């Protein structure tokens, strides 16, 4: 056995053997899963958790723990095996329930389901970028509260797929530019993908690539089974205080199975009983599925002498600084939310105002009141209104800076935001033009899936972009994002509604992942009863902005089309046609309201017409007819395009009259 795993203590060796056996047994029982990577990386995982990682199994939510991310989430059984072996609250039955519905051991790691899982991983490369976000969060909090209370690292295990995905290029470049020295990524260089050898599609010089990004690189080579060599490499990364680090580890997928080592089938195919028996014979473990040493978790936990002492020392420092530690804990628990009401000057209903301009006014009001706020954009900071007043640009020279310049890296920006939010204590805002939400979408999806309190600000929300043309005019984007579960898509009716909704979002400690969609062009500012209705009910996702007891039809709209619909309503009133106008700024919020409230807003007893400068798909849930856009835009001034596509008050008047005639 010492020839298989060198440098291991007796208890570490037992942990490695159990994890390797588990990595075969669990997928075999589930008839699905990934054995080979978990088997090959068991020595790395045990070394990290036993000798290097700063953690406390008896308090898995300790705020100053090191963060561990398995970016190659298909190897989830490795993380589950480590959690059990080191005494976290994950039982043998939980391990037997691998991939069973509603178990604590799902097919890919899901945050909130399993101890040690910090982020939801699976789509390759995103865990890498989440790690960058976690290091950013730690650096900001460390600057605010000091090293005695905030002083930890983030460790990421990534595979070939993670480094092939484009997000790793974006995130690694950003991390190198930021000099995020408390980030260490261990690259599992096993040369195998599902299709076969990585050389089929990958011949990058990874070492040169990361050094070019400004990373410290350790070429560990053929030492995947040497615990002392792994420990030395990881500690070398800890000692580097100026750069993020990459450890390149040449492993052999499926090791120590003679039949499966270095084979592509070891990636995602459960092993046969014969293959498992042979490998267990080499390991010297019983040839029975799910054989555990019941005393291993307690012995492994007891071996963490240094880690337990670090935890106790931190607790003592926290007790000696009760005011500071209490503030930090509250900031972590509130997810960096705004904890006090602010006075934001409203816009008078005199001149039109773009809702993106209201975003900047809201930012000006909360700047200085939210120590957990970070805000930035993909090279569009001024355009999207996300400047943090009175702060510096985040960087190695200004680690407390709350303004983040992500560069033209939309996908990485989104995933880095998710990492910040799931770290705790940070409320990240990131922005770009709405059409480029396509580039952010995979990160938005994981933000929604993992419940990360992230605020994605998207401006230039429609054909109002104008002369930039169809490449920059979002058409299908609203419906595309509305289709995403758990994501709140918010398109305010005017500037003042934007102010109030932004404050509400930033004050909500349990804010869901949110896409705030704002206009480039100026919009009318609501006045009178319309403004009052917005003030009282916009947070509910839908409300009657114009109500008439004699109404014969309801016009529904969002965003810039609310003003158009109000103008149409006024024109129809002059013709003796009474109408209602309903604003639906957030469909998800509206659906969360009572049936009674929704029915009172929609008034299904009346015919209805929806108006939105985007795809019509989905609107028939609320309306009988829709004025929208189901083709790409054109390059022309915004006013011309709205006329071209019939998104005008006159066009709405005409369609209302046609609809009423059809209903007679």
Q: Which residue has the tokens 């705020």?
A: 63
Query: Could you give the percent of the chain with pLDDT greater than 70?
Result: 100
Q: pLDDT tens, 35-84?
A: 999 999 999 999 999 999 999 999 999 999 999 999 999 999 999 999 99
Position 1 scores a pLDDT of 41
What radius of gyration, in Å, describes the C-alpha atoms of the chain? 28
Q: Cα 215–220–225 angle (5° rounding)?
A: 140
The answer to whether 480 and 453 are in contact (CB under 8 A) is no
At 410-463, the pLDDT tens digits run 999 999 999 999 999 999 999 999 999 999 999 999 999 999 999 999 999 999
Query: HSE on the CB side for 340, CA within 13 Å?
Result: 9
Query: For residue 538, what are its two tokens?
Result: 């916009």
Q: What is the mean pLDDT of residues 350-368?
A: 97
Q: What is the structure's pLDDT at 3?
A: 79
- pLDDT confidence tier of residue 544, bands split at 50, 70 and 90: very high
* Pair 255, 269: CB distance under 8 Å: no
| Angstrom distance (rounded) from CA 654 to CA 69 | 57
- The reply to whether the predicted model has a pTM over 0.85 is yes
User: How is the chain split into domains, by residue range?
Assistant: 10-308, 355-517, 536-663
- Beta pairing partners, 219: 248
With tokens 């919020």, the residue in question is 589
What pLDDT sits at residue 206? 97
Residue pair 253/228 in contact (Cβ under 8 Å)? The answer is no
Pick the closest to residue 220 from 239, 207, 204, 202 (CA basis).
207
Give the CATH architecture of domain 10-308. Answer: 3-Layer(aba) Sandwich (3.40)
Q: Do domains 10-308 and 355-517 have the same CATH topology?
A: yes
Which residue in 68, 48, 57, 65 sits closest to 150, CA to CA?
65
- The CATH code belonging to domain 536-663 is 3.40.50.920
The edge-to-edge listing of strands for the beta sheet with 403-405 is: 403-405, 373-377, 427-433, 455-459, 514-517, 488-490
> Hey, what are 94's tokens?
């939980």
332-87-119 Cα angle (round to 5): 40
pLDDT of residue 624: 97
Please report the pLDDT score of residue 663 as a whole number.
82
On whether the CB atoms of residues 609 and 655 are closer than 8 A, the answer is: yes
> What is the SS3 assignment for 387?
coil
Is residue 2 predicted with pLDDT exceeding 80?
Answer: no
CA dist 505 and 510 (Å) reads 9
Question: How does 74-93 read in b/e, with b if 16+ C-beta sit within 10 Å?
Answer: bbbbbbbbbbbbbbbebeee
In this model, does residue 90 exceed pLDDT 90?
yes
Encoded tokens for 425: 């204590």
Residue 179: is its pLDDT beyond 70? yes
Please report, rounded to a whole number, the percentage of residues in the chain having pLDDT higher than 90.
99
Segment (H or E) for 218: strand 216-221
Spatial CB neighbours of 310, under 8 Å, sequence gap ≥ 6: 54
pLDDT (average), residues 266-293: 96
320 burial level (CB within 10 Å; 0-12, 13-18, 19+): exposed
> Rounded to an integer, what distance in angstroms lies between the CA atom of residue 514 and that of residue 502?
11
The string of pLDDT tens digits covering residues 231-273 is 999 999 999 999 999 999 999 999 999 999 999 999 989 999 9
Token pair, residue 413, equals 């920006």
**Contact assessment for residue 168 and residue 129, using Cβ atoms and an 8 Å cutoff:** yes
Helices (H), 214-321: 227-239, 265-268, 273-283, 296-302, 305-320
Determine contact, residues 193/200, Cβ cutoff 8 Å.
Answer: yes
The token duo for 641 is 């395009």
Residue 519 in contact with residue 559, Cβ under 8 Å?
A: yes
Burial of residue 663 (CB within 10 Å: 0-12, 13-18, 19+) is exposed
Q: Tell me: the pLDDT tens digits for 495-529?
A: 999 999 999 999 999 999 999 999 999 999 999 99
The 10s digit of each residue's pLDDT in 98-107 is 999 999 999 9
- Distance from CA of residue 595 to its chain's centroid? 31
For the cut 70, the answer to whether the pLDDT of residue 334 exceeds it is yes
Instruction: Report pLDDT digits (tens) over 147-163.
Output: 999 999 999 999 999 99
Give the integer Cα–Cα distance in Å for 81 and 85: 6
Give me 404's structure tokens. Answer: 């983040």
Q: Domain 355-517 falls in which CATH fold?
A: Rossmann fold (3.40.50)
pLDDT score at 552: 98
- Residues 6 or more apart whose CB falls under 8 angstroms from that of 101 comprise none
Spatial distance between the Cα atoms of 373 and 506, rounded to a whole number of angstroms: 9
Mind telling me the catalytic residues?
410
- Mean pLDDT of the residues in the chain: 97
**DSSP helix/strand/coil, 428:** strand
- For residues 8 and 498, what is the distance between their CA atoms, to the nearest angstrom? 59
Given a cut of 90, is residue 192 above it in pLDDT?
Answer: yes
């Amino acid at each position: 056995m010492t020839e298989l795993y060198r440098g291991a203590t007796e208890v570490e060796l037992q942990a490695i053997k159990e994890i390797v056996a588990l990595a075969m047994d669990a997928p075999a029982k589930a008839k699905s899963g990934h054995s080979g990577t978990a088997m090959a990386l068991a020595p790395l995982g045990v070394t990290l958790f036993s000798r290097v990682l700063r953690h406390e199994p008896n308090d898995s939510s300790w705020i100053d723990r090191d963060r561990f991310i398995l970016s190659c989430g298909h190897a989830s059984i490795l993380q589950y095996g480590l959690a059990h072996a080191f005494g976290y609250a994950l039982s043998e039955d939980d391990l037997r329930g691998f991939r069973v519905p509603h178990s604590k051991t799902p097919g890919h790691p899901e945050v909130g389901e399993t101890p040690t899982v910090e982020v939801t991983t699976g789509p390759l490369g995103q865990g890498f970028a989440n790690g960058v976000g976690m290091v950013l969060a730690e650096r900001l909090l460390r600057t605010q509260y000091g090293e005695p209370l905030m002083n930890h690292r983030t460790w990421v295990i990534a595979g070939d797929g993670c480094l092939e995905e484009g997000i790793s290029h974006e995130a690694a470049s950003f991390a190198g530019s930021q000099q995020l020295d408390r980030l260490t990524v261990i690259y599992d260089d096993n040369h195998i993908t599902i299709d076969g050898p990585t050389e089929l599609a990958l011949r990058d010089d990874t070492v040169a690539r990361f050094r070019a990004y400004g990373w410290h690189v350790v070429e560990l080579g053929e030492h995947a089974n040497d615990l002392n060599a792994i420990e030395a490499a990881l500690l070398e990364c800890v000692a580097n205080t100026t750069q993020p680090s990459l450890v390149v580890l040449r492993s052999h997928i499926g090791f120590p199975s003679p039949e499966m080592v270095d084979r592509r089938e070891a990636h995602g195919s459960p092993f046969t009983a014969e293959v498992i028996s042979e490998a267990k014979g080499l390991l010297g473990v019983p040839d029975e599925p799910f054989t555990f040493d019941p005393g291993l978790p307690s012995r492994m936990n007891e071996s963490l002498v240094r880690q337990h002492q670090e935890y106790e020392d931190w607790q003592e420092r926290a007790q000696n600084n009760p005011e500071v530690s209490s503030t930090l804990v509250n900031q972590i628990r509130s997810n960096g939310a705004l904890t006090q009401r602010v006075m934001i000057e409203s816009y008078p209903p005199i001149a039109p105002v773009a809702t993106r301009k209201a975003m900047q006014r809201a930012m000006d009001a909360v700047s200085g009141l939210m120590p957990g706020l970070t805000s930035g954009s993909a090279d569009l900071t001024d355009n999207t209104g996300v400047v943090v007043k009175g702060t510096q640009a985040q960087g190695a020279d200004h680690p407390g800076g709350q303004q983040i310049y992500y560069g033209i890296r939309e996908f990485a920006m989104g995933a880095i935001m998710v990492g910040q939010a799931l770290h705790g204590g940070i409320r990240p805002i990131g922005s770009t033009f709405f059409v480029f939400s396509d580039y952010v979408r995979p990160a938005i999806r994981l933000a929604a899936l993992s419940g990360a309190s992230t605020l994605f600000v998207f401006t230039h929300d429609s054909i109002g972009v104008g002369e930039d043309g169809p490449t920059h005019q979002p058409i299908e984007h609203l419906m595309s994002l509305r289709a995403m579960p758990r994501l709140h898509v918010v398109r305010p009716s005017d500037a003042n509604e934007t102010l109030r909704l932004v404050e509400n979002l930033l004050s909500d400690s349990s804010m869901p992942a949110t896409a705030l969609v704002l206009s480039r062009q100026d919009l009318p500012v609501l006045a009178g009863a319309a403004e009052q209705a917005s003030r009282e009910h916009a947070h509910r996702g839908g409300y009657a902005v114009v109500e008439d007891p004699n109404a014969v039809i309801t016009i529904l709209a969002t965003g810039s089309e609310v003003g158009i619909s109000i103008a149409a309503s006024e024109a129809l009133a002059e013709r003796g046609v009474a109408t209602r106008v309903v604003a639906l700024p957030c469909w998800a919020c509206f659906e969360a309201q009572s049936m009674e409230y929704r029915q009172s807003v929609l008034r299904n007893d009346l015919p209805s017409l929806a108006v939105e400068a985007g795809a019509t798909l989905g609107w028939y849930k609320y309306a009988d007819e829709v004025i929208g856009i189901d083709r790409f835009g054109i390059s022309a001034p915004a006013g011309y395009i709205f006329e071209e596509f019939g998104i005008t008050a006159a066009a709405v008047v005409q369609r209302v009259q046609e609809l009423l005639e059809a209903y007679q």
